[in-house]
Chains A and B, each alone.
Chain A
């Protein structure tokens, strides 16, 4: 069986590389630096099933992005990652269609469980 393709969208190399370490064994990974790159990558690659996306990013914030992804690519599941631990942001993300919400510093087991639940 082919590996599920996941798009990781975060502007920080440290976070991208951490997620690579956690997920590279079980999943096929694609990376994006910002919102625009994320949209382009989903457009080009319809095999992307899951997106892990940071809420705070330059140019366009993650919640804005989430709205567009859910509108233009309803088949793609989105998990939000954030350094802000406020209930309001989590609630807003879930309301906009995110399926889960991971708080930094991310826990490898939580990331894996969260993704497995979606597959």
Chain B
């Protein structure tokens, strides 16, 4: 806002200087005060925000705005600018009216008060704030001093307004401070600059139209009234427009940021999964390694012990096999085979899998009940992967049954094909259930904890679904949703 008022003020000052007619010079001289009276309160507002003392100084800010509004009422009266007359090299230069002294008093008071606030805040500020204040302080002193040189000539003191050129250093210093010391959020600056540039354009057009089509003083008066009345609503509309445009610009930016964030999250999730895998791997491999290492170490000493030799063969052989199986499953988990879709008969697959496990079913005294209600049971899917899914779920069901029990396998079909596998086994606690898909989390004595993890990822890959319902002592039901 401050910069916008300074910009508008500068524009009218320039127009005032180049005015060739008495009428134009008087109009621009008066118009330049519409913006200049607001420079002071906006400047003060900027300073209290910079120093984070807005709340404490809110009354002073209001008073400053009120005084500026009062002065604004006199902008277009001879009390403020009496007339314009040729001075020094200027074709026309303003003559101060009776009340003009009030404006100069306000100018000096604001300048001194703002400088006082900044100097007072300096010792308690952190390094970055100190730098920001320092730059604003330098810019302020230069601008006020430079600006002050404009006014003597208004009173007929024949001193050229040389200091006005210094004012242009002010935006340069602030721009430097914005970039180097984060004086402002640069996006807000861009947004506000667009808004107020458009606003200045609007004021300029009204002014031009009035000058072109209306008569002298009337033109000035009408344009002042129009600008005063329309300033706020037009500003609101422009602001909304800029925000809309800017928001559209930033939406893609937000989306990009979101994507980046999501990727980071996925990456960190992956890292977490790898950490879980690594910890699980460590346990799964170090346990058998313990046996292999110790048995090998005692082999020379106990070679003649028949019991030792028998244990060696059994335990070491099984442990080597276990390491191999863990690695195979891990590889499958980490790098699954590509999807191979073909016409698949779910019922045949289920029958085959049950047959594959028949030995264990007999050993554990388990009866399997089948109720295949799906019309055909045929669909496009990956039979190899589905076989893996059925095998793992059935194996879990078998292992959950201790002293004989039952397994119920049923299918039904609507838009999807559902396979339900229910067992009368030991079931799971809610805590165990909530971790069922975690790799290396197992409820079984010798489980790797990879089975359901793999099942879960296969079902995801097949764009199907899996639901597990279980209660401790009540058995487990697994429902698979298979889409074609």
Contact = CB atoms under 8 A, between A and B. Distances in A.
Categorize the interface residue count of chain A. Answer: 20 to 34
A22 B294 contact: yes
B310 to A, nearest CB: 11
Contacts of A92: none
Given A14-B315, A83-B287, A106 B294 contact: yes
Interface in B270-310: 279, 282-295, 297-298, 302, 308
B49 to A, nearest CB: 47
Contacts of A85: 282
DSSP majority for the B interface? helix
A73 interface: no
Contacts of A82: 283
Contact of B290 (A58, A84, A106): A106
Q: Which of A18, A86, A106, A108: most chain B Cβ within 10 A?
A: A18
Nearest to A106: B290
A17 B297 CA distance: 13
B287 A108 contact: no
Contacts of B297: 108
Given A12-B287, A14-B318, A83 B282 contact: yes
A105 B290 contact: yes
B445 A58 contact: yes
Contacts of A58: 443-445
B138 to A, nearest CB: 55
Contacts of B295: 17-18, 21
B460 interface: no
Most buried by B among A17, A82, A103: A17
A104 B286 contact: yes
Contacts of B279: 84, 86
Nearest to A103: B286
B20 interface: no
B373 interface: no
Given A11-B445, A58-B445, A17 B291 contact: yes
The contact size tier of chain B is: 20 to 34
Contacts of A105: 286, 289-290, 292-294
A94 interface: no
A82 B288 CA distance: 12
A21 B282 CA distance: 23
A56 interface: yes
Contacts of B298: 21-22
A35 to B, nearest CB: 13
B294 A108 contact: yes
A103 B283 CA distance: 10
Interface string A1-32: 00000000001111101110110000000000
A106 to B, nearest CB: 5
B319 interface: yes
B70 to A, nearest CB: 70
Contact of A14 (B283, B287, B302): B287
Contacts of A13: 315
Given A21-B295, A84-B279, A84-B282, A104 B289 contact: yes
Nearest to A34: B445
B311 interface: yes
Contact of B288 (A11, A14, A84, A106): A14
A17 B311 contact: yes
B394 to A, nearest CB: 21
Nearest to B298: A21
A63 to B, nearest CB: 14
A105 B282 CA distance: 10
A78 B364 CA distance: 37
Contacts of B283: 56, 82-84, 104
Contact of A15 (B282, B291, B308, B311): B291
Contacts of B443: 58
B155 to A, nearest CB: 80
A20 to B, nearest CB: 9
B445 A15 contact: no
A18 B288 CA distance: 10
A18 B294 CA distance: 6
Given A83-B282, A84-B282, A84-B283, A17 B315 contact: yes
A14 B290 contact: yes
Nearest to A59: B443
A99 to B, nearest CB: 20
Interface of B: 279, 282-295, 297-298, 302, 308, 311, 315, 318-319, 443-446
25 contacts: A13-B315, A14-B290, A15-B287, A17-B291, A17-B315, A19-B294, A21-B294, A21-B298, A22-B294, A56-B283, A58-B443, A82-B283, A83-B283, A83-B284, A83-B286, A83-B287, A84-B279, A84-B282, A84-B283, A86-B279, A104-B286, A104-B290, A105-B293, A108-B294, A108-B297
Given A12-B445, A21-B308, A105-B292, 20 more contacts: A12-B287, A12-B291, A13-B315, A14-B288, A14-B290, A14-B319, A17-B291, A18-B290, A21-B295, A58-B445, A83-B286, A83-B287, A85-B282, A104-B286, A104-B289, A105-B290, A105-B293, A105-B294, A106-B290, A106-B294
